[in-house]
Amino acid sequence: MALQCGIVGLPNVGKSTLFNCLSNAKAQSANFPFCTIEPNVGVITVPDERLVKLEELVKPQRVVPTTVEIVDIAGLVKGASKGEGLGNKFLANIRETDAIIHVLRCFDDDNVTHVDGSIDPVRDKEIIDLELQFKDLETVEARLQKTEKAAKASKDQDAKKLVEVLYRYKEAFENGKSARTVELTEHEQKVTKDLYLLTNKPVMYVCNVDESSVVDGNQHVEAVREAVKDENAEILIIAAKTESEIAELETFEERQEFLEDMGLKESGVSKLIRSAYKLLNLQTYFTAGVKEVRAWTFHKGFCAPQAAGVIHTDFEKGFIRAEVIKYDTFVELGSELACKEAGKMSVEGKEYVVQDGDIMHFRFNV
C-alpha cells in the first residue's frame, strides 16, 4: 500500500532541495531549470513522538517506524499540457502520485534564476494549476467523446451520471477551477473513479522562503495565503536551502541547536512528512511487543481485519479478533499488563474501525 506524494512546481523553485532534506538519497539540485528529469523516489520515515514514548516504556529490542513515499518530480512549465518542456512525461509522473505537495518560490535571490523572470508565487501557482486543468480537460473531453452517445441511447444510469459529471468538470476547467472544487455525491464519486484527474488529488502548499522569513513568513507567503484561502489546503513555510544545510550536520543536538537559533522547535521537513501522511489519508497503529515496537500504516477508516492485513495477509484471512489499548491509556498505566488488569484492553471484532494511535494485538487462525 505504498502511497506517494509528488513534489510539484515550476522549475528551480527548490523542489529537489526540499526532497534532499527529506531523504538521504541525494537528488541532484542545481541552479538551472530541468535539473530533475527522472523522478527521484524517497521512502521517508515518519517522525512520531509516540514511538519514542512506547520505546521508553516497553524497552523493545528494536523499533520500526512507518514510512511514506515522496517523489521529486521535474519542474512543469507553461505549455506542459501541450508537451512543452517534456511536459507530457512530467504530467504522467504526477498522475502516478496520490497527492501533491506544491512548492512555491517565496524567496528573493538574484542568483537563482526564475523561469518567468520575477518572484510571484501566486502567478506561479496559477501556471501550474492551469496546466493541470488543461490536461484534465483533455481527459474529460476524450471520455465524453467515448461515452456520451452510448449513454444517451442506453438506460444505464451510471453512464448517464458519468456524462453529467463530466460536463460539470468541463465547466470547472473552463472557468480555471480544479476538479477538487467540484463536489460529488458518493454515487458520482463511484462512477468517475477511474478518471484519475490530476486536479482531483489532494494538495498542500509549501512556501519555500529564505531563512529570515521562516517564522513570520513574508509578503510572498501572505499573497499565497490570500490566493488559496478558499481551498481548505494546508500551507507550510519552509526554508528549504537552510534545512538542507542543517540536514548535513552530524548530530541531532547540532541540528536541534541550529533550528532553535532560527526560532523553530522542529524542522519544517518533519512537519512536512507528517502533513504528507495526513494528506494521503493515512493513519498509524502500533504493535508493542518486547521484541519489537512498531508503527503500521493504514487507511483512515480501515476495519480491524484490513488493518491486520497490513502486517500479513494471513492476519486478515484468519482474523478472529483484535485486542486494543488506547495509546494514552497505555502511557498512563505504563504497560500492556497494567492495562489488561485495569480492564482497559478492549476486545474488538471485524466491524471495529481502527483509530489513529491504537495499540493492537491481533488474534488469528490459519
Ligand X SMILES: Nc1ncnc2c1ncn2[C@@H]1O[C@H](COP(=O)(O)OP(=O)(O)OP(=O)(O)O)[C@@H](O)[C@H]1O
Residues binding ligand X (CB under 6 A): 9, 11-17, 29-31, 33-36, 74-75, 107, 109, 112, 208-210, 239-241
Tally of CB atoms within 10 A around 153: 9
Q: Which is nearer to ligand X, 237 or 303 (CB)?
A: 237
Interacting partner of 33 out of Mg ion, ligand X, none (Cβ under 5 to 8 A depending on kind): ligand X
Residue 197 makes CB contacts below 8 A (sequence gap 6+) with 136, 139, 140, 169, 179
CB of 246 to ligand X, least distance (A): 12
Whether 290 has a binding-site annotation, put simply, is no
- Per CB under 5 A, 244 contacts Mg ion: no
- Per CB under 5 A, 36 contacts Mg ion: yes
CB of 305 to Mg ion, least distance (A): 41
CB of 33 to Mg ion, least distance (A): 9
Whether 203 has a binding-site annotation, put simply, is no
Helix (H) or strand (E) holding 357: none
> Can you name the residues that pair with 8 across neighbouring β-strands?
102
CB of 353 to ligand X, least distance (A): 39
Q: Which residues of 24-49 are buried (b: 16+ CB within 10 A; e: fewer)?
A: eeebebeeebebbeebbbbebbbbbe
Q: Which is nearer to ligand X, 19 or 298 (CB)?
A: 19
CB of 123 to ligand X, least distance (A): 16
Q: Rounded to whole angstroms, how far apart are CA atoms 14 and 99?
A: 18
Q: Which is nearer to Mg ion, 19 or 173 (CB)?
A: 19
User: Count H helices, E strands: the chain?
Assistant: 14, 12
Residue written as grid cell 458520482? 188
Q: What backbone torsions phi and psi does residue 196 show, to the nearest 5 degrees?
A: 45, 55
Q: Which is nearer to ligand X, 54 or 128 (CB)?
A: 128
Whether 12 has a binding-site annotation, put simply, is yes
Whether 343 has a binding-site annotation, put simply, is no
SS3 content of the chain, % helix, strand, coil (to 5): 45, 20, 35
Task: Report the Cα–Cα distance between both ends of the chain, in Å, rounded.
Answer: 23
Whether 88 has a binding-site annotation, put simply, is no
Q: Which is nearer to Mg ion, 15 or 50 (CB)?
A: 15
CB of 280 to ligand X, least distance (A): 22
Residue 210 makes CB contacts below 8 A (sequence gap 6+) with 107, 108, 109, 218, 239, 241, 242
Q: Which residue is nearest to ligand X (CB)?
A: 75
CB of 111 to ligand X, least distance (A): 8
Whether 36 has a binding-site annotation, put simply, is no
Given the rule CB under 5 A, which of 31-39, 121-129, 260-268, 326-334 is the region that contacts Mg ion?
31-39
Q: Which is nearer to Mg ion, 15 or 102 (CB)?
A: 15
Interacting partner of 360 out of Mg ion, ligand X, none (Cβ under 5 to 8 A depending on kind): none
Amino acid at 220: H
- Per CB under 5 A, 23 contacts Mg ion: no
- Per CB under 5 A, 16 contacts Mg ion: yes
Interacting partner of 192 out of ligand X, Mg ion, none (Cβ under 5 to 8 A depending on kind): none
Interacting partner of 81 out of ligand X, Mg ion, none (Cβ under 5 to 8 A depending on kind): none
Give the orientation angle of helix 121-153 with respect to helix 87-95, to 10 degrees. Answer: 70
Interacting partner of 12 out of ligand X, Mg ion, none (Cβ under 5 to 8 A depending on kind): ligand X
H-state helical runs in the chain: 15-22, 49-58, 87-95, 121-153, 157-174, 186-191, 219-227, 240-247, 252-262, 268-279, 304-311, 313-317, 327-333, 336-341
Interacting partner of 200 out of Mg ion, ligand X, none (Cβ under 5 to 8 A depending on kind): none
Q: Rounded to whole angstroms, how far apart are CA atoms 278 and 237?
A: 17
Q: Report which DSSP code applies to 33.
A: T
Binding positions for ATP are 12-17
Site residues (vs Mg ion, CB under 5 A): 15-16, 35-36
